[in-house]
Amino acid sequence: MLFGAVPIVWSAIMSFQNNQLTGNTSYVGLRNYRLMLHDPVVAQAVQHTFVYTALFVPGTMIVGLFLAVAMNRKIRFISLYRTAAYATMAISTISEAIVFIWLFDPSYGVVNYFLSLLGIPQQQFLNDPSQALYVIVIMTIWGWTGFSVVIYLAALQGVPQMLLDAAAVDGASKWTTFRRVTLPLLSPASFFLAIWLTINAMQLFDEVYLSTAGGPLNATTVLVYYLYEQAFQNFNFGYASAIAYLLFLIIIVVTAVQFRVGRRFTYYRS
């Protein structure tokens, strides 16, 4: 409680100060918050954060659901496949970033090699402002898919077999059974994943810091990375604290909307 409450209160106080942690601290009221309204980088960071979240969350859920359904069968070496899927969660972010920087390297990357076989020109990927954010989306989807697979696998184990058998007896196809029976019963797991992944997406930092450092041309600058720049590169801790509370407000609003909308589409089996 102490280690959680004190930083929250302290950062709230600093957001109303001109604070460089050098001792010369002055109260500036709402100036830091007004500055955010006219800061073009903040607007860019908010936009990049929302674009990333809108791609990352459904992408991770769809890939995770596909793999979970594929692994929810009694086949040989299924335990090995499940372990391999979850292994992405055990790999450090540094290792993940190094691998993807190598894969998407413009000069000798494997992805460009395969694209050349298809006659597609060499791409710049992380060096291209129009592509860098999407490469980070792919990187993080790969890293979080294991988590999604585990959640969906657990939910699939709870789908009553008698409902699936009843649908088959009624002549429903496998796709109809999946859409009409399985998916509704997976809605609590989907609801949980949507909330959890959204909160994590809004706090994206490690992959940006390690792969692009917010570039090129601020194309991958998200709110947490800009907060880091202001606090630990520019030593503008008051402004950084205000950005942190902007992010906190965004997360609260987005999560509240998700809860309000998600409850209408979530089926809880009694």
Amino acid, single-letter form, for residue 226:
Y
Whether 140 is covered by a domain: the verdict is yes
The phi, psi pair for 29, rounded to 5°, reads 65, -130
Q: What is the per-residue pLDDT for 170?
A: 85
Domain count, the chain: 1
Q: What is the per-residue pLDDT for 211?
A: 93
Whether 17 is covered by a domain: the verdict is no
Amino acid, single-letter form, for residue 132:
A
What percentage of residues in the chain have a pLDDT greater than 70? 98
Q: Quick one: pLDDT band at residue 254, thresholds 50, 70, 90?
A: very high
Question: What CATH number is given to the structural domain containing 179?
Answer: 1.10.3720.10
Would you say residue 244 has pLDDT above 90? yes
Whether 177 is covered by a domain: the verdict is yes
Whether 101 is covered by a domain: the verdict is yes
The average confidence (pLDDT) of the chain is 90
Would you say residue 125 has pLDDT above 80? yes
Q: Quick one: pLDDT band at residue 270, thresholds 50, 70, 90?
A: low
Whether 18 is covered by a domain: the verdict is no
Whether 154 is covered by a domain: the verdict is yes
DSSP state, 72?
A: S
Q: Which two three-digit tokens encode residue 146? A: 């294991």
Range of the domain at 221: 30-265
What is the rounded CA–CA span in Å between residue 18 and residue 215? 27
Which long-range CB contacts under 8 A does 243-250 form with residues at least 24 apart? Answer: 243/36, 243/42, 244/11, 244/15, 245/11, 245/12, 245/15, 246/33, 246/36, 246/42, 247/202, 247/203, 247/223, 250/46, 250/49, 250/202, 250/223
Higher pLDDT, 88 or 59: 59
What is the rounded CA–CA span in Å between residue 202 and residue 226? 13
Q: What is the per-residue pLDDT for 124?
A: 93
Instruction: Find the mean pLDDT for residues 207-229.
Output: 94
Pair 15, 28: CB distance under 8 Å: no
Whether 110 is covered by a domain: the verdict is yes
Q: Quick one: pLDDT band at residue 2, thresholds 50, 70, 90?
A: low
How big is the chain by its Cα radius of gyration, in Å?
22
Instruction: Find the mean pLDDT for residues 47-56.
Output: 97
Would you say residue 137 has pLDDT above 90? yes
Would you say residue 99 has pLDDT above 80? yes
Q: What is the per-residue pLDDT for 269?
A: 64
Would you say residue 74 has pLDDT above 80? no
